[in-house]
Amino acid sequence: MYQKPLSKKQKALLHIAKSKIGMTDAEYRDLLERFGVKSSKDLKQDQWDELYAHLQHCGFVPHHKKAKKSGMHERPARDKASLTSKVEALLADMDLSWAYADELARRICKVDKFRFVARDEIYKIITALRKKQVAMGRVYQEGVWI
């Protein structure tokens, strides 16, 4: 059965995943050999799917284009990490993108993107997101989301 060759984007994604999870070149070559190839260009589509799933299992997390556009694909500074993860959880709960957090940052904190919001002002964004959550009818009560 004919399978079309991998695209440049797919090959690049493998190398990005390899570097993000901290895999050495020797480890990567060993992994490719488990799939019966010496180079990523020799992979078939079904092999690529399996290899990509394995890299995700090893800890690679692909980032959505909107997260990359807003700059939220990189880890925040340590002092902002816990607050940023709270904002991320609120956005995910309401199926909102980082673009919404960027817009809140523009309106409330007068900065271009959420990533530029000072640590002591992130609570304003969290408060706005909580209010929107209540307005959408998603309320946390006695250990259960209603």
More confident residue, 72 or 26: 26
- Predicted local confidence at residue 60, as pLDDT: 79
CB-based contacts of 11-18 (< 8 A; 24+ apart in sequence): 11/40, 11/41, 13/52, 13/62, 14/40, 14/48, 14/51, 14/52, 14/55, 15/40, 17/52, 17/55, 17/56, 17/60, 17/62, 18/55
| Residue 108: pLDDT over 70 | yes
| Residue 6: pLDDT over 70 | yes
- Predicted local confidence at residue 120, as pLDDT: 86
**Where would I find the H helices in the chain?**
8-20, 25-34, 45-57, 65-70, 78-93, 98-104, 122-135
| Residue 17: pLDDT over 90 | no
Mapped onto helix, strand or coil, the DSSP state of residue 87 is helix
**Chain segment 44-91, per-residue pLDDT in tens:** 888 888 888 888 888 877 765 555 555 555 555 667 888 888 998 899
More confident residue, 4 or 47: 47
More confident residue, 143 or 103: 103
Q: Per residue in 90-103, is it b (16+ CB within 10 Å) or e — as a string?
A: bbeeeebbbbbbbe
For 102, residues 6+ apart whose C-beta sits below 8 A from its C-beta are 70, 112, 113, 114
As a whole number, mean pLDDT of residues 131-141 equals: 79
pTM (whole model) above 0.95: no
